[in-house]
């Protein structure tokens, strides 16, 4: 029998109301989430992608008991996020990152001592647990420095240390590497993978496609408050039209030539971008039978063609799905 999902949501909706007008008597209702259904397996890194304003942070805050949904139900670790919030909170960690949430005028060890008391870590275990997480995130040598002296990458490590201090079963990471330099971001991704090896389930939101592709077993794309796709990266490639992407760039294409491109064997999707007088056509291809020479032959009137072949990336998939939803 398969284990129960670590996260299960059914028709989650969340609306926010604000007032505008000269006397603020006009109520404006904005739906941030519009019926989200989602399941996350225990022990996986599940990625949530979406543009700004799609509802990623709203969903994360609902799952971590910081917001109450307007409609629908959500369970984390088998507990309802509304009815069972008090029982659930000791089992989850939340890392929102950024500059907030840390006390800059004291050192890292004192920050963690405060949060250990807040999270109910037993006094007898507190010091040992603090030293463990400082070592885990690579801050042991800087633990006595005031946080205001830390780099952004060091602060992000301290956020993660705070999030795992009470040994949560589920960890929510909201943009954990945003604004970090490449070395700090790589160290953070390595740390995330090591947590999964310890049995922690991770729910990750990110804007970085390569990061999601590197870390996540499965990914959901959220757009305008709705899940528009969810699968493995390979499954998402099939959804948008294939593993292969061919880019054809040149001048002065006729409609008949574009239609001919669309009819070539294996082409499942065609889109274009204009760069001044040049036009680039991007073809998603399901099969291996279509080759650059075959494209060149079908556009023989364009000797200046530039044709590039590459594997369909997660960024390609994401843009296809989000643009399709916006159309």
User: What is the predicted pLDDT for the residue at 327?
Assistant: 52
List, run by run, the mean pLDDT of 10-residue segments along the chain (327 residues): 85 90 79 96 95 91 96 97 96 82 93 94 94 94 95 90 95 88 87 90 92 94 94 92 92 91 91 91 89 89 90 91 71
**Token digits for 226?**
């709705």
Q: Quote the CA–CA distance of 80 and 304 in Å, as a whole number.
A: 61
- What is the value of pTM for the model shown? 0.87
The pair phi, psi for residue 300, each rounded to 5°, is -65, -20
Could you count the other beta carbons within 10 Å of the beta carbon of residue 45? 23
The CATH architecture assigned to 7-236 reads: 3-Layer(aba) Sandwich (3.40)
- Residue boundaries of the structural domains of the chain: 7-236, 242-311
User: What is the predicted pLDDT for the residue at 1?
Assistant: 47
Rounded CA Rg of the chain:
24
Check: CATH 3.30.70.100 for 242-311? yes
User: What is the predicted pLDDT for the residue at 279?
Assistant: 94
Same fold flag, 7-236 and 242-311: no
């Amino acid at each position: 029998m398969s284990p129960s999902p670590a996260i299960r949501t059914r028709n989650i909706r969340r609306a926010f109301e604000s007032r505008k007008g000269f006397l603020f008597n006009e109520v404006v209702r904005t739906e941030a989430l519009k019926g989200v259904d989602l399941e996350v397996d225990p022990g996986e890194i599940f990625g949530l992608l979406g543009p700004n304003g799609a509802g990623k942070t709203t969903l994360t805050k609902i799952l971590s008991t910081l917001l109450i949904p307007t409609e629908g139900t959500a369970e984390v670790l088998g507990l309802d996020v509304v009815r069972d919030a008090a029982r659930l909170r000791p089992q989850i960690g939340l890392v929102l990152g950024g500059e907030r949430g840390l006390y800059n005028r004291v050192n890292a060890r004192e920050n963690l001592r405060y949060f250990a008391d807040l999270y109910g870590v037993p006094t007898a275990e507190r010091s040992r647990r603090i030293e463990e997480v400082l070592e885990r995130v690579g801050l042991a040598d800087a633990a006595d420095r005031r946080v205001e002296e830390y780099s952004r990458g060091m602060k992000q490590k301290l956020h993660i240390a705070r999030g795992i201090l009470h040994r949560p079963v589920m960890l929510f990471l909201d943009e954990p590497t945003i604004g970090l330099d490449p070395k700090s971001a790589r160290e953070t991704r390595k740390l995330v993978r090591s947590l999964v090896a310890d049995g922690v389930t991770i729910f990750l939101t990110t804007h970085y496609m390569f990061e999601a592709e590197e870390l996540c077993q499965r990914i959901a794309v959220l757009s305008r408050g709705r899940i528009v796709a969810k699968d493995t990266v390979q499954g998402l490639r099939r959804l948008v039209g294939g593993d292969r992407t061919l880019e054809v760039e040149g001048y002065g294409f006729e409609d008949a030539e574009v239609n001919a491109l669309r009819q070539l064997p294996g082409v499942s999707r065609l889109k274009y971008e204009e760069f001044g007088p040049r036009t680039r056509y991007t073809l998603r291809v399901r099969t291996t039978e279509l080759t650059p020479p075959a494209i060149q032959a079908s556009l023989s009137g364009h000797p200046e063609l530039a044709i590039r072949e590459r594997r369909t990336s997660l960024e390609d998939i994401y843009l296809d799905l989000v643009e399709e939803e916006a159309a």
